[in-house]
Amino acid sequence: MNQINDPKVLIALDYASEEDAISFVSQLSPNECRLKVGKEMFTYFGPQFVKKLIDLGFDVFLDLKFHDIPNTVAKAVVAAAQMGVWMVNVHASGGPQMMSKAKDALEQFGDKAPLLIAVTVLTSMDEQELSRLGVNKSPAEQVSYLAQLAKDSGLDGVVCSAQEAQNLKNQLGTDFKLVTPGIRPEGSDAGDQKRIMTPKEAILCGSDYLVIGRPITQSENPVETLAKINESIK
């Protein structure tokens, strides 16, 4: 970990231009936030971009949501660890064998291994969307089920919505990390997110890390918006 503090906000850098992303990042301090690189930026700009952010002193969450056979995912998380990322994720629905094999593959990195986190039910999904997948449970029930599987497979935490955070902390204990996207400061547009909460509520419910993209990156003054969010969760 590079940080002196333990910033709770993970900014989703979903930009199609590396220049725009770097110009935004150059206004930030690693003491105020961590950065998330997801499928869009990684597909455009690859590991070199991730390394650039790490060289600037930021902890990077590589959000590629790996979901494949155990051997492939284990090799992919090793590649992420070699890149020097702070956190990496897989889909819990890849199954317990996939998750435990990925965790085992990171053992060789000792205390330099990235946190390994499992995505449960995407925050863009509600009960109706879940049932269209053939899952006839509420999002909260399915999140609880997959989070237990992730914990039993040795993972460090899960991605879930803040709406499930309180129950998961009770179920899985305080050390199991909860990373929550679908964060919307009051008055901001939900967009494609369905299971949402404000930053303050999310922290009160037990979220360890808040993933926030558009409410910061598309605001008129992203730096001020981040400062306000940080202030609200102090």
Residue numbers at the binding site for ligand OMP (CB under 6 A):
12, 14, 38, 63, 65, 89, 119, 122-123, 159, 181-182, 191, 193, 211-215
Q: Is 72 annotated as a binding residue?
A: yes
Catalytic option among 51, 52, 65, 169: 65
| CB distance 12 to 212 below 8 Å | yes
Quick one: 108 or 192, whose CB is closer to ligand OMP?
192
Q: Is 10 annotated as a binding residue?
A: no
Quick one: 64 or 111, whose CB is closer to ligand OMP?
64
Using the 8-state DSSP alphabet, how is residue 215 labeled?
A: H
Contacts of 122 (CB under 8 A, 6+ apart): none
Quick one: 63 or 127, whose CB is closer to ligand OMP?
63
Q: Annotated catalytic, 126?
A: no
| CB distance 37 to 13 below 8 Å | yes
Q: Which residues of 105-122 are buried (b: 16+ CB within 10 A; e: fewer)?
A: bbeeeeeebbbbbbbbbb
Residue type present at position 140: A
CB of 12 to ligand OMP, least distance (A): 4
Q: Could you tell me how far CA 34 lies from the centroid of its own chain?
A: 10
CB of 200 to ligand OMP, least distance (A): 16
CA–CA distance, 46 with 29 (Å, rounded to integer):
22
Q: Which residues of 84-93 are buried (b: 16+ CB within 10 A; e: fewer)?
A: bbbbbbbbbb
Q: Is 103 annotated as a binding residue?
A: no
CB of 110 to ligand OMP, least distance (A): 25
Q: Annotated catalytic, 63?
A: yes
Q: Is 36 annotated as a binding residue?
A: yes
SS3 12: strand
CA–CA distance, 144 with 135 (Å, rounded to integer):
13
Catalytic option among 8, 59, 63, 151: 63
Quick one: 53 or 110, whose CB is closer to ligand OMP?
53
Catalytic option among 20, 52, 59, 68: 68
Q: Is 128 annotated as a binding residue?
A: no
SS3 204: helix
Q: Which residues are annotated as a binding site for substrate?
A: 14, 36, 63-72, 123, 184, 193, 213-214
Residues marked as catalytic: 63, 65, 68
